Structure 1
Amino acid sequence: MEEVKLLGFWPSPFVYRVIWALRLKDVQFDYVEEDLSNKSELLLRYNPVLKKVPVLIHGGKAIAESLVILEYIEETWPQNPLLPKDPHEKALARFWMQFGLEKMRPIHQAYFPAIGEEREKAAKQYQEVLKILEDQCLGDQRFFGGETIGMVDIVYGMLAYWFECMEEAVGVKVIEPSILPRLHAWVKNLKQVSVINDNLPHHGKLLAYYKTSREKLVSARSTLPTPSNHDAS
């Protein structure tokens, strides 16, 4: 079997997507922790364009970006499939993975550094998007993939652990059981899966990381100059 290596960074939920997929496929791999403040020659060589993690190296060839890596894993190791066999269901799964990328990322970027009344506004916007995901994709299923976890669950896995730390750092809850009951239940179900539960960063360390990151973002926002009438809109 060709060597499999994963370049990652411990707080990254995108890295853990790949770890979970490899574990679910029973693929043996070596994990290499990166210091993103001092990027290694290995990372720069295998991802010279984006210079980011995760990077999967298989047989000396590199694949970057977590969603692309997940697709590669699914095609390379077909055992324990993470996507449906039916072409229409497979297309729907890919649609919902893309939905998170396009709809949730900008809202997340507004929510995490928000202060004051902005926090409640951003949280409500987040809930509106997650309600669509809950109603249209999750429904009454145990997981997005049905009774067992699949690639859509893996992609949204950050909501089941990382987001709890983010909510604590921001100080405003988003995934409230009274507002998003089925998504809240899904969070509990996902964390009970051994592959997920056994492959998570330390909660206290992750919370401290997010608190520090948020403080830096809030501080940076407060030092930005106020736009004048001559500035471009």
Structure 2
Amino acid sequence: MRRNMVAGNWKMHGSLAANQALLSALIAAPEPACDVVVCVPFPYLAQAGQLLAGHAIGLGAQDCSMHEQGAYTGEVSVGMLREFSCSHVIVGHSERRAYHAEGDALVAAKAQRALSAGITPIVCLGETLEQRERGQTEAVVGMQLDAILHLLGSRMHELVLAYEPVWAIGTGRTATPEQAQDVHAFIRQRALRHHVSAEQTRLLYGGSVKPDNAAELFAQPDIDGGLIGGASLKAVDFLAIVDAAKHRG
């Protein structure tokens, strides 16, 4: 049985004071019945790591380099993340793909590099509104997934995949539970063709997940939790979503 997971993506938000308040509230809550990770901006890894030390909530980063080290100004290696006790790292988020022209091969290389350091990559997949309206969802998501399968097919059980329809990220629009389940089922079945371990791969849904829709989304058979954006910045909302993830459909 796959254990549900909720990961918070703070994106480019936070301050020392705000982080202290948010993480203190999360730590004070009862221990979660699912896996929980917060992915914070690089400058706050030290602060977050100190606050979360000894608690059930894991620490993640929002990106990593495909390179181990070298003359790559502005990049952060997985070795550096490991020194800050990061257990997870997001790779291939739609904002990285769109604003930094990150392609499928680069995303796969980053995921491979993370695994080499013992860090679990949360690999994001998703289509734009235009692609969905053209009926290209499976073609686009399938191409993104195939790059991962090509490099890491036999290690799928070590990855977390997050389906984030780009048209639902930060827009207030959310895929219906049925729409989300359809794509999650497609992802799992495509991955299973490459390796049986994909049955154990956790698939998260991301895209305007809120306390009032989380339970219905997480009840779908192929949705194993969520990658949460804006709601992860509010302790009450994030904890409500975490609570929804403890129940399986």
Same fold (TM over 0.5): no
Higher relative contact order structure (alpha carbons within 8 Å, sequence separation ≥ 6): 2
**Normalized against structure 2, the TM-score is what?**
0.32
- Greater per-residue helix proportion: 1
**Normalized against structure 1, the TM-score is what?**
0.34
- Greater per-residue strand proportion: 2
Mark the structure with the bigger radius of gyration: 1
